[in-house]
Structures are given as C-alpha cells and as structure tokens.
Amino acid sequence: MRAELIMVGTELLLGEIVDTNGPFMARHLADLGIDVYFKSTVGDNLSRLQEVLKKAFGRSDLILISGGLGPTEDDLTREAVSLAAGCPLREDPEVIRWIENRFVERYGSLTAMSPQNRKQALFPAGSEIIPNPVGTAPGFWLEKAGRIVVALPGVARELEAMFRETILPKLRTVAGEEALVIRNLHFAGIGESSLAELLADLVSAQTNPTIALYASGGTVRVRLAAKTAQRAKAWDLIAPLEAEIKRRAGAYFYGVDEQSLEEVVAKGFLERGLTLALAESCTGGLIAHRITNIPGSSDFFLRGYVVYTNQAKIDDLGVRPATLAAFTAYSAEVAREMAEGVRKRAQTDFGLAVTGIAGPGGGTPDKPVGLAYIALASAENTTVQKHFWRGTREQVKERLATAALQLLWRTLSGLQAD
C-alpha cells in the first residue's frame, strides 16, 4: 500500500510552527508496513490544496491529511476533498449535536458557540466520521474509487488521540499482515565515518534488512529495517545482523530504540547504588535537565550547581582564586577543582563538572570558542577530558552535555553492578 501525507496550514510554510504530525503518522505507518512515498505541505489556499489532492489521488492508495478542519474561512480541507473526490458536502446532524454538547460542557451554555462552528459538521458525502475526544473538530475517513482519504485536525494532541483510538485499528485491518520492523542501535564515543568503516561490508551487502547510519549531537544511530509478510519473521531477519553489529562495535554501543544516553546512565547509577552531584558552568544546567527527565533520578542525583561566574565557583565549590587567576575558568585545573569540590560538598560517590566557552564571543587564540573541559571525580581519582567543537552556542552546549554523559556511561560500564 502506497501512502501520502498532506500537511495543511500557511503557518507551516511561514515557519511559525514545526510539523510534528507528519513524523508521528509516518512512524506508525512504517510500523504497519505501509510505505509513505510522498509528503506535501500546502497553505490555506483552496486551488493549491485541490491540486495537491488531485496528484495524490492519481498516485497513492492512502492519503492522510493534517489540518484545515477548524471553523474559520481559511479551514478548507473539507471543501478541497469534496471537490477533488467529487463528493458534495453534507451536514451531519449528530455532529452538530455533539459540537453543541461540547460547548455546553465547556462553557455552560451555547452562547460561546459561533455559527461558524457548524462548518465543522460538514463532510464529503460517504464519509465515516472520526470522533475527536480532545477538541471540537471531528475528522473523516472517505473511501472513493479505490482510494482512502483520512482527514484529521492539525492540533497535535487531537490528531494523535484520534489516530491512536480510531485510525490505527482501521489501518491494521487494511494493511493486513505485512510489517516493517525497525530496530535502532545507539552508539557513543565513535564518529559516524568510523562506525561506517567498521560496518562497511554489511552496508554494501544490505538487502533486507536495510542499514542506515545517522549522527546527531555526539551520538550515532544505526537503523535496521526489515519488511516481511509477518512481524515475527522480520525480527528473525534483524536479530543476527544486530548481533554482528554489536560484536564489531560493542565498545561504543549503549542502547536500543528509545533508550537515551541519560536513561542508560541513570540505570547504571541505580543498579550500582551510587550517587552523583553536578557542577555546570557553560551548560547552564543542561546536564541536570537531561538527567532529571528520567523517572527515579532523585534516588542517585543529589545536587546540582550552576556556577556561571568565577565567584560562584569559589563560593559554592571551593575553587581556589589562585587557580582561576593562573589558568582561567576554561582549564583542566579549574574543571578538576570543580568536580572534586562538588563531590565533597554533596558527599556523593561522583562529582561531575563542565566548563568551557560556548561562544559566540569570549574566545582567544589560546582558548578559542568551543573549548571545553569535563572532569569526573571519585574517591579514588579524578578524570579530566579536553574537548573542542565548532558550532553555535546551543550546539556546543549540547555536545558538551552529551560528552559528559558519555564519560559517566563509560565509567559506570567499568564498574561491577550490585
């Protein structure tokens, strides 16, 4: 089955909002073994939307539309589908009553309901109404001339609820047994090109499963995708390839699928019964943010300091003024004293510290923008790493936070779990 996604909204073309509905639907379609061949973004213009729909009718079996189902004049998805499919619009009395009830429940009366809201009860003839458990804009499912058109609101939380509750079960019936299974393997501490070299013969010989590498923020993801008539058979194809990749690059492998580096780090601390404190300078609390996104992190992450100025490093961590004067805040020596100081103040098993120059200003020939240091202190020793990255302020901060988590992960990997 060939699918096509159409995202409707001038705000998308202006860059005012980022499309999340397309990726959400595409992931679920891939899981069902439905191929997405085309994705279009079109503004709130009836003729252009009709043009896109006519092309979709000519080349795709399944067309999913996001947006344009609101009550205003520029919400034109109903009209465009009606014209493209040759199905006149009909008002559904049950939907009218449903919309009225929603307004009464929310506002206590119908006075807040505009006459424009009646537009949301118009559907191309022959449509099956898709209820909206979150908002006031129902969607519709239309089958015409061997094509299926599904129209859903553009509000992400509404679309996702409707897709999961109604569309997915219907698509499972339509798609049948064929399945595309995707396995993501995550690696840290190795670049994309180096990992590609390790896997070069596997990549060149790929058929089914396929192999693809993606680098992002200091980590590399290897995507394995297998398509078969049955899901279990797809996993049978992926398993030996996954095992071979882990055998070759196991020293850099840290997780699968949705596992994040911080999740793996949290698991390592919890399994070993160890504790952590952080001292962050240029990352401004980003490492703490990523760690505290993990449920249960309060069981090992005891304290965090954002010491953005030299005086804060002195007052909060006990960094010596003489060290700052001799080496500056962007140095291995200061990173070491920060890590040891935060571990001592918090009385934790580990103290992690980062300091550097995120830019765009503040660099010198000897200490350029992108220079950063990471220090990890324990009772036995202190490890200090020097890094340098090019990029924007946000990119340097993200790479530094990821590198700090990598140091934690590698250190924990060498320790015996309880």
Please tell me the predicted confidence (pLDDT) of residue 112.
Answer: 65
Distance of alpha carbon 120 from alpha carbon 365, whole angstroms = 63
Shared domain check, 286 and 249: no
pLDDT tens across 206-231, in order?
999 999 999 988 899 999 999 888 87
CATH of residue 183: 3.30.70.2860
Distance of alpha carbon 301 from alpha carbon 243, whole angstroms = 33
Please tell me the predicted confidence (pLDDT) of residue 417.
Answer: 57
Distance of alpha carbon 47 from alpha carbon 155, whole angstroms = 23
Name the nearest CA neighbour of 332 among 401, 286, 382. Answer: 382
Shared domain check, 155 and 192: no
Range of the domain at 49: 2-175
Picking from 125, 158, 175, the residue at the C-terminal end of a domain is 175
Shared domain check, 145 and 14: yes
Classify residue 418: in a domain, yes or no.
no
Q: What is the SS3 assignment for 323?
A: helix
Look up the pTM and report it.
0.74
Classify residue 337: in a domain, yes or no.
yes
pLDDT tens across 258-285, in order?
999 999 999 999 999 999 999 999 999 9
Would you put residue 60 in left (φ > 0), alpha (ψ -120 to 50) or beta?
beta
Shared domain check, 308 and 393: yes
Residues near 412 by Cβ (< 8 Å), separated by ≥ 6?
265, 268, 269, 272, 274
Shared domain check, 104 and 7: yes
Shared domain check, 150 and 197: no
Which comes out higher in pLDDT, residue 113 or 325?
325
Which comes out higher in pLDDT, residue 342 or 101?
342
Distance of alpha carbon 222 from alpha carbon 48, whole angstroms = 38
Picking from 124, 153, 175, the residue at the C-terminal end of a domain is 175
Shared domain check, 318 and 331: yes
